[in-house]
Structure 1
Amino acid sequence: MSAAPSPVASADPRNPLGLLPLLPRWDPTFVMLGMVASVEAIFLSTFILISQNAMLRAAERRAELDLQVNRLAEHEVTKLVEMLAAIARKLDAPAVEDSEVREAAQDIRPEQVMRQIDQGRED
């Protein structure tokens, strides 16, 4: 008795795998498939980089807004401490001698803070 021919191995050069008998052979070495996958990867990486760039710009805008809000809040706190000190003087209330109160009464310059942060990174 002879063995039945394997459905996987085919002698037909148009259909080397023998899986689809009605279709002719197409790209048996998968060169076209590799090229299509490479082109897809190029486009996909381009779209990812574009979206990351947009997300970075949005994050920078949020950080700038956050900085401006913090600067405004710091300025308002400084003004409130000055107003409270003026009210205390008007009412002849004893002044609070605290380093934190003196520090809050000083207006902060953002340039100095950035310099200190940069110096801390360098150390």
Structure 2
Amino acid sequence: MPHRSPSVPQDNVALENEVNTQVLGHDKYGKVLRYGRRMTKSRLSSYGSIIRGSQSTSTISTLIEEMNAKHVEQIQKVQAEQAKFMDMMDACEKKYKALLNKCMKKGISIEFHTRRPDDEVFSLDDNE
């Protein structure tokens, strides 16, 4: 068997799989000690290779912190936009109420006509 460099992860995984097959035999569904049912030796070794191939814990923690900071920033931006929108809606509502009150004081009925002459006329007066 040729010498394999331990620095190459693919060689380590292949070697580990070969050892598992030789020592433990072929995969059979059942229980792998401490992992419960439906776990096979190859699944277990593939999970291990994923963990070994992942980035270091500190790098992952840094990425999580950066993502959390961006998330907080996005939430604050959305909240600011929502507050601005609500202020605009309040201003429009105040203008509408002022116009309505002005018209009511003058005794003017505000009616909304549709474009077709056969449609009904809708009124905001409470008397009708």
Q: TM-score, normalised by structure 2?
A: 0.43
Bigger relative contact order (CA 8 A; separation at least 6)? 1
Q: TM-score, normalised by structure 1?
A: 0.45
